[in-house]
Structure 1
């Protein structure tokens, strides 16, 4: 398990900009502002590229339809696993924590949800109230004992991967020190962050078609610290780490690593699902 000092520094560096822009990071999925929105958009330079930039044209992707809302996702087989090749964008509307929704779009924009998927607190990712299955029921802000595999917020026939399943993927992609390069999309997102021009930036090769984007993360729901897109991503696992934290997979522009990170369960991150 590793913690990313780059990520912590980068997020802290943007805090000064929070009061300079009136656009909120957290919003209800219908686009209305949340009464408890506290994080801000930091720069107009973060408009996303077109979605075709995300995928590797040399990969033969599959397709999956979420029968809850009819959305279609690309999928990819990597080794013995079949993964979603893009982040989940299921529009969950239930109230969670201090917010009036349990899924969020960056910058209050459906454009960002279409590209980066939605951000979910861990309790929502785990389906802690048991809407879709009971395997993750009760897994909110406290310790719990889920029954694996945990479907969580994923579509029928898919589930929220645990840390062991992520470990298999990382090992298939070459191990901790190089897997990030192979799992990151070839999208310019990974190389065009306007800040940190004095640092080398590491893009992706997307060797296996996993096509991970630098979606950012919303990693402290209490104080409103947000990382903007084109810097990093943290994707939830279904594995808890102590009572208040859970494991996530971290990728960023400063290296080729793929490692476990342990954000608070109250933070909000993207979700990738793996096939049952």
Structure 2
């Protein structure tokens, strides 16, 4: 699978949050409720996000201890004077004093008692380092019962799907007439149309074939070549050409070329004409539905406010996220990596094709929406021969 520098950088930034040395002061970090800084609607945007495990404003009665290492001293701005920053992974608190971040002595400090915002009231977050799930109540994160945490069964490689959907919300249903598969649907309000109706599940159409075999009409891969994943909410995985319902040659040739005669129908792009981010393309979706385009992914995230867009859309089955507040129930099924010929990334990464070729190498790369645990990238490139997930939207 091909990744680009910007995407790699964002992933490195995400991982680095857990690798800080306890002897060096962190850079000033934002509150958990204001950590999302996703660039939406731009084809070249990369979602940048601070770690959601870092919280400012943690009170501490510990005495101030000056760091003895000059390498560890980091400056702060005058408007941060007196501000405290608690770094979860090292259990340390820093305070801005006289233009530098100063380490305060601290013992075992935990997530419990750190502040949350009013618009996060009732939301939950799982802190994997503590193996504790917290809920925001009265603007404070407090621990919940450990029995409420969704975890993988220790006796099975499969997942508990009982919380795939948000039980507090009302879902519709759609039966695909091609195979009588029933999908839950969810209506999300946005600023572009009155309502958009989405599949609340990944598309699961077609006959399972082994990963790496040539896909054709009505075929799919199931993660690990195991039908359980397709049958239990994770859905099928499709190459770009199969997802677009194009000839197989389009996985290695640009659309409209001699080898790939297929193209998307720009005439159906009624919301924003002549804008490839809003192409309405049916692809492998059933009649009356189309593959989510970039503009519709933006609409799905609309209203996420301070929360990560990834957390805002994800199913609670995805351990360590919010409680599926919008009912979209996104699952990180990973992908089939055609370069390394293997399945990878389940419960870590979610990849969804959108109906566009990637501008850098359109003959070989398709455009996808990419989700990490608490981070997302609205537009990135992947090998067209990789197999990713699909979400469908009702035509309007």
| TM-score, scaled to structure 2 | 0.50
The answer to which structure has the higher helix fraction is 1
Asked which structure has the greater CA Rg, the reply is 2
Q: Distance in 2 between matches of 1:111 and 1:170?
A: 29
Q: Residue 260 of structure 1: which of 375, 379, 393 is its match?
A: 379
**1:97: Cα distance to partner?**
7.9
1:113 partner SS: helix
Judged with a 3 Å threshold, the aligned counterparts in structure 2 of structure 1 residues 247 and 173 are, in CA distance, closer, same or farther, namely: farther
Q: Distance in 2 between matches of 1:83 and 1:173?
A: 17
Partner of 1:155 in structure 2?
A: 286
Q: Does 1:67 align with 2:197?
A: no
Q: Distance in 2 between matches of 1:258 and 1:85?
A: 20
Partner of 1:179 in structure 2?
A: 309
In structure 1, the gaps of 5 or more residues are: 11-43, 130-136, 192-201
Q: Residue 113 of structure 1: which of 227, 230, 249 is its match?
A: 230
Judged with a 3 Å threshold, the aligned counterparts in structure 2 of structure 1 residues 64 and 257 are, in CA distance, closer, same or farther, namely: same
Partner of 2:348 in structure 1?
A: 231
Partner of 1:245 in structure 2?
A: 365
Judged with a 3 Å threshold, the aligned counterparts in structure 2 of structure 1 residues 98 and 237 are, in CA distance, closer, same or farther, namely: same
| TM-score, scaled to structure 1 | 0.70
Q: Which runs of structure 2 are paired with 1:185-200 in the superposition (5 Å)?
A: 185-187=315-317, 190-191=318-319
**1:139: Cα distance to partner?**
4.6
Q: Does 1:54 align with 2:58?
A: no
Q: Does 1:142 align with 2:253?
A: yes
Q: Distance in 1 between matches of 2:210 and 2:159?
A: 31
Q: Does 1:215 align with 2:326?
A: no
Q: Residue 301 of structure 2: which of 165, 170, 182 is its match?
A: 170
Q: Distance in 2 between matches of 1:103 and 1:178?
A: 30
The answer to which structure has the higher strand fraction is 2
Judged with a 3 Å threshold, the aligned counterparts in structure 2 of structure 1 residues 140 and 182 are, in CA distance, closer, same or farther, namely: same
Q: Residue 7 of structure 2: which of 3, 7, 20 is its match?
A: 3
1:111 partner SS: helix
Q: Distance in 2 between matches of 1:46 and 1:226?
A: 19
**1:4: Cα distance to partner?**
4.6
Please list every run of at least 4 consecutive aligned residues from structure 1 whose deviation after the TM superposition is greater than 4 angstroms.
92-98
**1:99: Cα distance to partner?**
2.6
The 8 Å contact of residues 63 and 74 in structure 1, kept in 2 or not, is answered as yes
Q: Which segment is superposed worse, 55-64 or 224-233?
A: 224-233
The 8 Å contact of residues 240 and 246 in structure 1, kept in 2 or not, is answered as yes
**1:204: Cα distance to partner?**
3.2
In structure 2, the gaps of 5 or more residues are: 16-153, 190-194, 256-262, 266-278
RMSD over aligned CA atoms reads 3.0
Q: Distance in 1 between matches of 2:210 and 2:366?
A: 20
CA deviations 1:118-138 (Å, max 9, x no partner) are: 100010000004xxxxxxx98
Judged with a 3 Å threshold, the aligned counterparts in structure 2 of structure 1 residues 97 and 72 are, in CA distance, closer, same or farther, namely: same
**1:261: Cα distance to partner?**
2.5
Q: Distance in 1 between matches of 2:286 and 2:367?
A: 21
The 8 Å contact of residues 3 and 262 in structure 1, kept in 2 or not, is answered as no
Q: Distance in 2 between matches of 1:174 and 1:139?
A: 38
Partner of 1:20 in structure 2?
A: none
